[in-house]
Amino acid sequence: MNHADINKILSDLIHSGWDKPVIKYINRKLQWQVMLNSASDDFGTINCNLHAVGSNLYTKMLRKSKLTAHQKIELVLWQLGANIDHTGFLQLNGDFYLDSAMPPHSNFLRYFRRLVQKVFPGKTLKEYSMTNDLGELANKVHLFRSYLDFNNIQYIRSFFKGTTDYEKLLKYGKKFYFIKLDYRSDANFHNRFRSDGCFKYPQNMKVQVTSRTRMSEFIINLESGNFVSEWIGYGFLANEAEQNKTSFKEFNIVNTESFNYGIPIGGRKLAFFVDRDSHNNLDVSHPRDSLTRRRLTKKQSTSYYWKFEESYYKKDGSGRYAGQYADIVKKGYRDYYAWNSVREKEKVYYKFVAYCRSIYPKRNPGFYCFLKKSKKDF
């Protein structure tokens, strides 16, 4: 690397929207490397890291910038070329790209999440989407989460080996032992079924990273052990199943994972340090999804739609139970393997629901605990 290379990089940074503190930081860093005659970071490598949103270098730059939180979010999305098309889908067509080596627990994701919480306080993201000053940004921020999901899935599949996606995810959790995979949040919205059919038992489980932040999220099919994602439904991610079937595509689109800007509190014993409304405000009460997903999840009079089942403990106005939903997996892989050891799943599931109701208001302990306590041989 020489001084001409440095000038080229600094010029590109200016045109990419970075402010003076960032330019000075990179200039000092590059000048120091030239003085040391460092060969570890050549021009091409540094240029890639500068354009890789989520890389360690990019994250440091974003932190060092004196731009406001609002301006930082706008900068990231502008560099990625984020625009919403006529179908309500976010397209990324910029010169920057999400870093493929960015893990689901990365510093960038944590920092970007805090920026979102800071820019959109108090009200729901849906309410912000209807304002003049923050409306467009709120819509883009909501839709951007699906790209974070895509990047997370690609990371797990690229850097870890296993027969199933769940095996790969477990290896990720083992390598980064400090993150701890979290299974406690309810997965009703990720177990939708067609309205012209009936709910039998959960098909999927939810895993979040980390156990403290519950930021990144993965949905795993209980039968196959592979990821469920809208990106599989759209055909951008591979899956062993028959991807050309309409039902399979729709199943993945409606039950997809969703990165959390807020902090889900379900299942926490203590939540003094958590903004209890942030998950609802930023993730649940959100702006409109893409047209494809809206058509599949919105109630229709002329066709079916994909609905979710109410939780097993909820009751209607007459005192009757309103739903039959209970998460199979609550405490980890033991629940998953215990469920897959059962043959007559529908029959056993309703006994599991009855058990969960019998101990309510105690929490659902997961299927392994139920199976262990049960005296009958399934």
89-99 mean pLDDT:
97
pLDDT of res. 241: 62
Report helix, strand or coil for 327. Answer: coil
Q: Please write the tens of the pLDDT for every residue from 184-212.
A: 999 999 999 999 999 999 999 999 999 88
Alpha helices in the chain (DSSP H): 3-15, 20-35, 43-51, 56-64, 69-79, 107-119, 125-128, 135-159, 165-175, 230-233, 246-254, 278-279, 291-297, 333-340, 345-359, 367-373
Domain that holds residue 43: 1-66
Query: How many domains does the chain contain in total?
Result: 1
What percent of the chain is modeled with pLDDT above 90? 84
pLDDT (tens digit per residue) in 267-286: 655 555 567 899 999 999 99
Structure tokens at 83: 């625009």
DSSP codes, 127-172: HHTTSTTTHHHHHHHHHHHHHHHHHHHHHHHHH---SSHHHHHHHH
Q: What's residue 243's pLDDT?
A: 62
Q: For residue 96, is pLDDT > 60?
A: yes
Do the domain assignments include residue 56? Answer: yes
pLDDT tens, residue by residue, 59-83: 999 999 999 999 999 999 999 999 9
Q: Is residue 216 part of a domain?
A: no
Residues 140 and 286 sit within 8 Å (Cβ to Cβ): no
Question: Would 52 be classed as within a structural domain?
Answer: yes
pLDDT tier for residue 378 given thresholds of 50, 70 and 90: low
Residue 308: closest CA among 182, 184, 198: 198
Q: Position of tokens 């759209």? A: 234
Instruction: Kindly indicate the confidence band of residue 352, based on its pLDDT and cuts at 50, 70 and 90.
Output: very high
pLDDT at 87 over 90: yes
pLDDT tens track for 171-180: 999 999 999 9
pTM for this model (two decimals):
0.94
**In a domain? residue 3:** yes
Question: DSSP characters for 228-292?
Answer: --HHHHTTSS--SS-TT-HHHHHHHHHT-----SS---TT-S--TTS-TTHHIIIIIS-----HH
Question: For residue 44, is it within any domain?
Answer: yes
Give me the percent of the chain exceeding a pLDDT of 70: 93
Judged against a pLDDT cut of 80, whether residue 249 lies above it is answered with yes
